Chain A
């Protein structure tokens, strides 16, 4: 089981937009529309931000959006705010023998 590939870091200035990629294979990201994204601040539990590739749970700002093309999913944060600075992890379903595979995480810095 290989982790999904995410860039280790990303950055942007307040008000700007940033996109984080998550690359897998046809057995996970490319094979199912079950990709989610999690935000994790230091010392805290992860928080669900996006599910089913592009859906936002209640309470998540619409500045956060998700998409997928082939084996790569993406999370876009628009109108960056200082509180968006955190680690972001993608997660994909990969079949009944492999319910979940995570990306290695991306540290988003708001400059």
Chain B
């Protein structure tokens, strides 16, 4: 059974870089059938798609975040990562990683448990 687990600092200072890693277990990240994505959810608010990456490195970013976001994949570690630059309080959210079916990019399953990242000095 495929599982995803987010990891990284839970507290980031304003203007610094938020860095998270998603570790995939129970299956290989190197597949042409699935992509891998990041979604976030500010406290008490809705879901926001951040970006999606294939194991071969094709990347798709939310246009509203593209200038500050970098997503990468490390097939040797079965992980993919997220970096958000120049963070502000508005980037405070639960960050989820998920698997994306390439035939229907709205298909997201399973999800990691999520990690709360707070931006505060």
Contact = CB atoms under 8 A, between A and B. Distances in A.
The secondary structure that dominates the A interface is loop
Given A45-B113, A100-B105, A1 B63 contact: yes
A99 B58 CA distance: 12
Interface string B104-121: 111111111110000000
Given A48-B109, A99-B52, A99-B60, A34 B46 contact: no
Q: How large is the interface on A (under 10, 10 to 19, 20 to 34, 35 or more residues)?
A: 20 to 34
B46 A89 contact: yes
B104 A46 contact: no
Contacts of B39: 100
Contacts of A86: none
Contact of A45 (B46, B96, B104): B96
Given A89-B47, A102-B48, A45 B109 contact: no
Interface of A: 1, 3, 34-36, 38, 45-48, 51-52, 57, 89, 91-93, 96-105
